[in-house]
Amino acid sequence: MLVADRVIAIAIMGLSAYFMWHAVALPIGWNGMTGGPGGGAFPFWLSLIMMLSAAGILVRSLGAEPTDQKFFDGVMLRSVIVVVVALFVTIGLIPVVGAYVAIPLFIFWYIRIFGGHSWLLTACLTVGTPVFLFFFFEVTLKILLPKGITEPWFFPLYAMFF
């Protein structure tokens, strides 16, 4: 288990460094012309947070006592495979039906069907997440997310906010 922790932590740190290296091709500071962060700001800082988190896991694993615990048992492996497949389906749906349909479908499936949580929690997150994403990315940051065939539904909102 500790070997897996270390290998994955090092891999995530390498991936984070790769993302940060590409993010600095765009400005990562405050952009005075647009009144917001530069195009590389979020990828850079999120990658840095990811790298620091992985470094924390690596440091913790170096001080841990070895155990006989297996990395994956059959039940856990099945759960991981099911979620990975669901994520690939969600990614495949984004260009077709848009992020604002694909993401809530995944959230609904993950929280209610896979996780078995309450209808209230499921409804709040399934509705609240796309609303938050719209206002954060499209209204605040002026970053348009893919909408696929649902784009005409957004024309009234564009008229309101742009």
Mean pLDDT for the stretch of residues 133-138: 91
Give pTM, 2 decimals: 0.71
Q: Count CB atoms within 10 A of the CB of residue 5.
A: 17
| H runs (alpha helix) in 24-154 | 41-62, 74-97, 99-108, 119-133
pLDDT in tens, 27-76: 888 777 766 777 788 899 999 999 999 999 999 999 888 777 666 678 88
Looking at the structure, tell me whether residues 87 and 23 fall in a common domain: no
**Domain boundary residue, one of 46, 69, 92:** 69
**Distance of CA 120 to CAs 103, 114, 125, 127, Å?**
18, 15, 9, 11
Q: Is the pLDDT of residue 134 over 90?
A: yes
Asked if residue 65 and residue 76 are part of one domain, the reply reads no
Confidence check: pLDDT of 115 > 70: yes
Amino acid 73: pLDDT: 76
Task: Give the integer Cα–Cα distance in Å for 66 and 64.
Answer: 6
Average pLDDT over residues 5-23: 95
- Do both 79 and 143 map to the same domain? yes
Is 24 strand, coil or helix?
Answer: coil
In this structure, the answer to whether residues 1 and 53 fall within a common structural domain is yes
Nearest to 150 by CA among 161, 158, 140, 142: 158
- Report CA-CA distances (Å) from 84 to 49, 54, 92: 23, 21, 12
Domain range holding 94? 72-162
**Are residues 90 and 162 located together in one domain of the fold?**
yes
Question: Considering only CA atoms, which of 10, 8, 40 is closest in space to residue 143?
Answer: 40
Query: What SS3 state is found at 123?
Result: helix
16-25 confidence digits (pLDDT tens): 999 999 999 9
Number of domains in the chain: 2
Domain final position from 69, 85, 103:
69
Give percent above pLDDT 70 in the chain: 94
Q: Which pLDDT band, with edges at 50, 70 and 90, does 133 fall under?
A: very high
Residue with the bigger pLDDT between 140 and 151: it is: 151
